[in-house]
A and B are shown apart, each in its own frame.
Chain A
Amino acid sequence: MSRSREEAAMKRKRPDLDSPTQGLPDAERVVLSLVKNKKNLGIWVAEVKKEANLPPTLVDKSLTALVKKKLIKQVVNIQNKGKKHYMAVEFEPSEELTGGSWYSEGNLDKEFITVLRDTCLKVIELLKVATVEGIHNFLKKRKVVECTSQQIAEILNSMVLDNAIIEVKSTGLGEYHPIPVGSVCYRTASGVALGTGPKTIGPMASIPCGACPRISQCSPNGVISPQTCVYYTKWLNTEF
């Protein structure tokens, strides 16, 4: 922003010209202070209108003017993407608005998550057994991905849920030697089950009925029936 020109423009009106807010019309100043008061939480347009005690059209005008002057910015609220939120430029949106470190611009940062997952899996395969701290240090030393140990813990947790790795308590023996006894560590699912998902496919899940979304509507001689079932036909024909 060209501060000098602005200052020059305002010189005639006011002698002390420390901040850019000085030259604003009253309405804009009221709105700005409201927005600023909310700090990094941001404020919803409707709330501004309610609290500012100004005609709604004037509030809207002031908000757009302030955005133009780069004093406030519009931010996305993860809880409700439809509601317009504003925040003073000097603040970064809080976690409540963004949804935490996993979100970028209001969307789940899937790319980052996948990268971090793959990296963690590789590190665990390399180290055989590792704690959260161990993985974090490993990544920090090699500067692979930038993240906090909290993030690593969350990623590992979700990988446990995916059955890609398993959570164990260190016994202090053998492979667990460098890890204190009793501390939680992670290892790849042993044996057959490298990779993700359950170890064996259950007998129910391996037949069409196990995956059938319409099983509750299926009955012998009904509209959906085992005799006419398309899933069955497909299954029995592709089997060989």
Chain B
Amino acid sequence: MVSPHGIKLAVYLISSYFGDLNAKVCECLLQRGTQSLAQIVRFTELSRENVRNCLLVLIHHNCVQAFAVQQEGAFGEAPKVITNYMALFDNIIHKLRFPKFLEIVSEVLGEKVGKEGGKECEEIFEGLLQHGRLSLNQIIDRFKQTSNQGDSSAEAARDNFNKLVNARFVERCPAPEPFLGPPAEDETAAKKQGAKSAKIVKQTIEQRALAAAAPMESMRFLVETVTWNEASVETTDKKNTVVTLGTKRKQDNLESNTELLATDENKVLWRANFEEFIRRLRHKACVANVKVRVNNDAAIVLAATLELSRHSETKVRIDNSVPQSINAIYDEVIKRDGGLGMDLERIRASLVELGCETPLMAIDETYSVDLKNIIEQARIEEVECIVLKRYGREAYRMFRLLSKADRLLETDKISDTTFVEKKDAAKILFKLWKDDYLEMKKVIARGARQSEFILWKINKQSLWEHVLDEMYHAALNLRLRITHEQEQEKEILQMPREKLVKELHSELHNRYNRLRKVRITLESSLMNLDDALMLFHDF
């Protein structure tokens, strides 16, 4: 379930990129969940035509996914197939992070192919971010226009594009409208099998749709060199049959998307692979956290381990890094800055500091780092910072006591351990509870004298959700303030540059400078805050 301020932020982002109509459709989907076209028309009170166009835009920008489901017909009618639309909340919020994604592309590919090549890759990637989805031909055309190198530029574009795909920065778009069969069979089977498979059934229809839409792992990063490859024809045929199960109306609706199914490279659509970027950012965040909390050596070793582990990771939120042998880690460590001087002993010591256990037998010495723990630590630190800032040092001490204890503690016990006056302690704890940072329990002991104890606890799961919601709120506030500041100084922004330069030291010039600094402050704060958003939502 997406938090209320998360939805507000997503809607605001959509409205600033694609306008109010799209925002309205998007809000409807986020608030009410998956819906059919008719439902959206009813709730948004927009014309059918408008809604259809909005959906097309949103689908094109990977913000909405369509899927078809079969519905029981009423009163003996034949079952109907209905197209449903779901908003992809994560992809909408990713729009905030595009600069970070671009930075990764230029960092990674710039290193491999030199500055110039990196720049070209970056341009292609930027085009994909701007347009949502593009075919290879469109990409090449765009590249030709900007580079002015004539025919050779097509080759270069293809080359750079391959680099992007090989680095997994770009992937094939998912199927436009996967068909989901009725889940009835699975359910009965699961009931028999008991609790274990009940978990699988819990998978929502949205998750099933996304899984069905995702291209096969073997196809996902496949660039076809021969246009009419036999194997690929076969696969698309399969896809075609799936889609023809859909209703006719749907095909009318999404005509533009049926292009996706054709094999020739004009028609295969590509998009940025957000998963890879989030994975890299997650790794970066882990390394940064370890660098501050443990030491530099440990950070280098962790970075090396994650570099090795990255390609074998199947999902973003992996709990432990994929086990790597000590030799492989060593080879990777010495390639890095500051890693050259490290020997096996130091690497082993760092791995122990990272919480790995030394294997008992030396035959198969592999290590796997507990990433979940690192992420959890980073989250705790972030929340502690907020508590310190908002409620003061004494509250910070109490909060840390509770978070370390991870169980119910009594008011007096808390005030004794943290050296806070009993009355103040109760006040602070109450304030934290009122703001949803703590949970409270009252216990009444009936002995000779009736007495009441108040117990406190941190419920991490619900606290994380609460903090995340506040962060979405804060991010929205930053965006709103940026817009507000710009509107305030509209006249300066519309002024020609020459005039501004001429009037150096004048009041106008000062105002211009102030606005520039304000924007830098706000935008960099937003980027940093976004790191925290990812920490609590994506990692």
Which residues from chain A sit less than 8 Å from chain B, CB to CB? 78, 99-100, 102, 107-108, 110, 113, 154, 157-158, 161-163, 190-193, 196-207, 209-213, 215-216, 218, 220, 225-227, 229, 232, 235-236, 239-240
Q: Does B138 contact A (CB under 8 A)?
A: no
Indicate if the CB atoms of A204 and B532 lie closer than 8 Å. yes
Let me know if A205 and B484 touch, CB within 8 A.
Answer: no
Q: Which residues of A contact B404 (CB under 8 A)?
A: 161
Q: Which residue on A lies nearest to B475, using beta carbons? A: A209
B360 at the interface (CB under 8 A from A): no
B481 at the interface (CB under 8 A from A): yes
- The interface of chain B, by Cβ under 8 A from chain A, is 292-293, 295, 381-382, 384-386, 388-390, 393, 396-397, 400-401, 404, 416-422, 435, 467, 470-471, 473-474, 476-478, 480-481, 484-485, 514, 517-518, 521-522, 525, 528-529, 531-532
Contact of A209 among B393, B435, B474 (CB under 8 A): B474
Return the chain B residue nearest A154 by Cβ.
B417
| Bound form: Cα–Cα A207–B385 in Å | 12
Would A161 and B397 count as touching, CB distance under 8 A? yes
Chain A residue numbers with a CB within 8 Å of B481 are 226-227, 229, 232
Q: How far is the CB of A115 from chain B (nearest CB, A)?
A: 13
| Chain B residue at smallest Cβ distance from A203 | B528
A233 to chain B, nearest CB (A): 10
Q: How many angstroms from the CA of A213 to the CA of B470 in the assembled complex? A: 11
Q: Find out whether the CB atom of A213 lies under 8 angstroms from the CB atom of B390.
A: yes
Residue pair A113, B477 in contact (C-beta under 8 Å):
no
- Verify B390–A191 contact, CB threshold 8 A: no
Q: Which of A162, A193, A232 contacts B393 (CB 8 A)?
A: A162
Q: Which of A107, A200, A209, A218 has the most CB of B within 10 A?
A: A209
Q: Which residues of A contact B389 (CB under 8 A)?
A: 201, 205, 210-211
Q: Is the CB of A205 within 8 A of B473?
A: no
Cα-based distance from A212 to B477 in the complex (angstroms):
12
Given the known interface contacts A100-B416, A198-B384, A226-B484, the answer about A209 and B421 at a Cβ–Cβ threshold of 8 Å is no
- Chain B residues closer than 8 Å to A161, beta-carbon distance: 397, 400-401, 404, 417-418
The reply to whether A202 and B473 form a contact with Cβ atoms under 8 Å apart is no
Chain B residues within 8 Å of A212, by CB: 390
Complex contact B517–A240 (CB within 8 A): yes
Q: Is the CB of B517 within 8 A of A239?
A: yes
Q: State how many angstroms separate the Cβ of B354 from the closest Cβ of chain A.
A: 15
**Are B293 and A199 in touch, CB under 8 angstroms?**
yes
Q: Which residues of B contact A215 (CB under 8 A)?
A: 470, 473-474
Contact residues in A for B517 (Cβ distance below 8 Å): 239-240
User: Is chain B's interface secondary structure helix, strand, loop, or mixed overall?
Assistant: helix
- Which residues in A have their C-beta under 8 angstroms from that of B396? 162, 197
B residues less than 8 Å from A193 (CB atoms)? 292
Contacting pair B473 A218 (CB below 8 A)? yes
10 further A-B contacts with Cβ under 8 Å, apart from A198-B388, A220-B480, are A108-B419, A110-B419, A157-B417, A162-B397, A204-B474, A207-B525, A209-B473, A209-B474, A211-B389, A225-B480
A198 to B478, CA, bound (A): 24
- CB < 8 Å neighbour of A202 from B381, B401, B485: B381
Looking at the assembled complex, report how far the CB atom of B383 sits from the nearest CB atom of chain A, in whole angstroms.
8
Closest Cβ of chain A: how far from B531's Cβ, in Å?
Answer: 6
CB-CB under 8 A from B422, the residues of chain A are 78, 99
Q: Within the assembled complex, what's the spacing in Å between the Cα atoms of A78 and B416?
A: 12
**Chain A residues closer than 8 Å to B522, beta-carbon distance:** 236
Partner of A158, one of B397, B470, B474, B476: B397
Contact, CB under 8 Å: B419 / A204:
no
Complex alpha-carbon distance, A157 and B413, angstroms: 13
User: Nearest chain A CB to B419's CB is how many angstroms away?
Assistant: 5
A211–B387 CA distance with the chains assembled, in angstroms:
8
Cα-based distance from A100 to B412 in the complex (angstroms): 12
Which residues on the A side are within 8 Å of B477 (C-beta)?
209, 218, 226, 229, 232
Alpha-carbon distance A235/B471, docked complex (angstroms): 18
Shortest beta-carbon contacts, A-B, top 5:
A209-B474, A203-B528, A202-B385, A226-B477, A205-B385
A113 contacts B295, CB within 8 Å?
no
Q: How far is the CA of A41 from the CA of B139 in the complex (A)?
A: 85
Tell me how far the C-beta of B233 lies from the nearest C-beta in chain A, rounded to whole angstroms.
50
B-side contacts of A206, CB under 8 Å: 525, 528
CB-contact partner of B418 in A158, A190, A225, under 8 A = A158
Q: Which B residues are CB-close (under 8 A) to A210?
A: 385-386, 389-390, 474
Check A236–B474 contact: CB distance below 8 A.
no
CB distance from A207 to the nearest CB of B (A): 5
Q: Are A201 and B385 in contact (CB under 8 A)?
A: yes
CA distance A160 to B346 in the complex (A): 27
Shortest C-beta distance, A112 to chain B (Å), equals 10
State how many angstroms separate the Cβ of A154 from the closest Cβ of chain B.
7
Q: How far is the CB of B519 from chain A (nearest CB, A)?
A: 10
- Measured between beta carbons, the chain A residues less than 8 angstroms from B397 are 158, 161-162
> Are A204's CB and B393's CB within 8 A?
no
**Whole-angstrom CA separation of A191 from B514 in the bound complex:** 36
Which single residue of chain A is at the shortest CB-CB distance from B397?
A161
Q: In the complex, what residues of B have CB within 8 A of residue A236's CB?
A: 485, 518, 521-522
Q: Which residues of B contact A213 (CB under 8 A)?
A: 390
Sampled A-B contacts (29; CB under 8 Å): A99-B422, A102-B416, A158-B418, A158-B419, A161-B400, A162-B396, A190-B295, A196-B393, A197-B388, A198-B384, A202-B382, A203-B382, A203-B528, A203-B529, A203-B531, A204-B385, A204-B471, A207-B525, A210-B385, A211-B390, A220-B480, A226-B477, A226-B480, A226-B484, A227-B480, A227-B484, A232-B477, A236-B522, A239-B518
